[in-house]
Amino acid sequence: MQNNASSTPPQPLAGLRVVEFTHMVMGPTCGMLLADMGAEVIKVEPIDGDRTRHLLGAGAGFFPLFNRNKKSIGIDLRDPAGAEVARRLCASADVVAENFKPGTMAKYGLDYAALSAANPRLIYASHKGFLPGPYDQRTALDEVVQMMGGLAYMTGRPGDPLRAGSSVNDIMGGMFGAIGVLGALIQRGISGKGMEVQSALFENNVFLVGQHMLQYAITGQPAAPMPDRISAWGVYDVFSVKDGEQIFLAAVSDAQWAAFCDALGFADLKADARYAGNNQRVTERPTLLPLLRERLALRSASELVALFEAAGLPFAPIRKPEELYDDEHLLATGGLADITLPDGERAGQTAKTTLLPLTMDGERLKVRMNPPRLGEHTRELLAGLGYGDEDIERLHRKAAVS
């Protein structure tokens, strides 16, 4: 495709070649971040394709979201000729990224030790379930580490652990992999040598709950699950309002509490000494919140949005993901971009995807290439490695590449 925007955002990684052996979310996220910043990212897929191309339900968005701006080559690594293609491809790379079980890449001579021996400048990003240690042979999923790492406990109600509503560890694990790659690139510019970078789901999850661990270390009090926590602020809640709508409202300082009362005409609450300071309001939540819920139930969500926006107070309507396609801010700021879907019943049709949540030089990073069809760039890449037409046909006949 491609993007029709008149401005061209920076591509700080242009000229960098990344070869990724990834699937699902974690590894592809790392590659997508590098690709969005301008790197040439080559996705090596099995001959029958990345399984996420054909997932249903909650997995239907995995491939088109996390594999834009990439090229695809299908390689049968179990075929010696295919494994040789992969090794030649890696020899041309600045970065290799993978997220398979420990030992998988070594079977094909594609581990860091083998590849760096031939290419000392190589940066190798491994994305695993666990960093090396007692757990590193376990099979990990986002939900597995959320359960064992305290995040599901913190998200759900007491006695009802609940995973977060997105692939938070997969996505952040890929982000940390990309951050490690960027740091390794800077170091390579100084030393001339590459290095291996490792990122892991479990350690990512532990980082996410680190604030709750330190809460216990500092106070001696275990952190309660978020729905049952002792709030740090007196007003910081979801309220049910007129016509069954819900809205999140907050006042996290004494100045905001005064503005909250002024905006809503709650002069009596503003003057009540029991609610004068934030910590007093926290202590008095058992009396304060029922009063607020009773009064706010008479207001519409749209009225409260207008009042809180005018007063500069924190608020949020409760939205579903699909409703964000109509969000005026995203539409006005170019936070969504068109892609052509590569697979499934809607192959060839257009859908809108989310861009990275950052700007560079004032520009959002664009979709330069649609999520690739399986093996879409195989001939181009093989030719670039020095394979002639007859070699390519021979590899195709052997089904070593697609």
CATH number, domain at 304? 3.30.1540.10
**Do 53 and 185 belong together in one domain?**
yes
**Do 74 and 177 belong together in one domain?**
yes
Per-residue pLDDT of the chain (402 residues; tens, 9 = 90+): 444 445 788 999 999 999 999 999 999 999 999 999 999 999 999 999 999 999 999 999 999 999 999 999 999 999 999 999 999 999 999 999 999 999 999 999 999 999 999 999 999 999 999 999 999 999 999 999 999 999 999 999 999 999 999 999 999 999 999 999 999 999 999 999 999 999 999 999 999 999 999 999 999 999 999 988 878 899 999 999 999 999 999 999 999 999 999 999 999 999 999 999 999 999 999 999 999 999 999 999 999 999 999 999 999 999 999 999 999 999 999 999 999 999 999 999 999 999 999 999 999 999 999 999 999 999 999 999 999 999 999 999 999 999
- Which CA distances in Å does 151 have to 32, 142, 154? 25, 11, 5
235 backbone dihedrals φ, ψ, rounded to 5°: -120, 110
**Do 310 and 353 belong together in one domain?**
no
- Residue 100's CB is within 10 A of a number of other CB atoms, namely 16
- Which CA distances in Å does 210 have to 146, 151, 207, 216, 339? 13, 10, 5, 10, 37
Q: Of these residues, 79, 170, 272, 361, which one is catalytic? A: 170
**Do 237 and 99 belong together in one domain?**
no
Token couple for 146: 């959320």
**Do 158 and 24 belong together in one domain?**
yes
**Do 338 and 391 belong together in one domain?**
yes
**Do 258 and 348 belong together in one domain?**
no
Considering the domain boundaries, does residue 3 fall inside one? no
Q: Are 53 and 128 in contact (CB under 8 A)?
A: no
> How many domains, the chain?
2
**Do 177 and 92 belong together in one domain?**
yes
Distance separating the N- and C-terminal Cα atoms of the chain: 22
Q: Are 315 and 309 in contact (CB under 8 A)?
A: yes
**Do 186 and 259 belong together in one domain?**
no
The pLDDT score that the predictor gives to residue 1 is 40
Q: Are 399 and 76 in contact (CB under 8 A)?
A: yes
**Do 296 and 190 belong together in one domain?**
no
Distance CA 267, CA 105 (A): 67
Under DSSP, is residue 238 helix (H, G, I), strand (E, B) or coil?
A: strand
Amino acid at residue number 189: G
Q: Which of 298, 320, 342 is the last residue of a domain?
A: 320
**Do 241 and 282 belong together in one domain?**
yes
pTM: 0.93
166 backbone dihedrals φ, ψ, rounded to 5°: -150, 170
Q: Which of 289, 320, 351 is the last residue of a domain?
A: 320
Considering the domain boundaries, does residue 79 fall inside one? yes
Which residue segment(s) compose the domain that 272 sits in? 231-320
Is 170 catalytic? The answer is yes
Considering the domain boundaries, does residue 6 fall inside one? no
User: 315: closest CA among 232, 227, 235, 225?
Assistant: 235
Where are the alpha helices (H) located in 276-355, listed in sequence order? 278-283, 285-296, 301-311, 328-333
Token couple for 181: 């790659």
Q: Tokens 């986002």 belong to which residue?
A: 142
Amino acid at residue number 125: A
**Do 169 and 314 belong together in one domain?**
no
Token couple for 395: 């590899």
**What CATH number should be reported for the domain holding residue 383?**
3.40.50.10540
Q: Are 199 and 127 in contact (CB under 8 A)?
A: yes
Distance CA 377, CA 383 (A): 10
Q: Which of 320, 354, 385 is the last residue of a domain?
A: 320
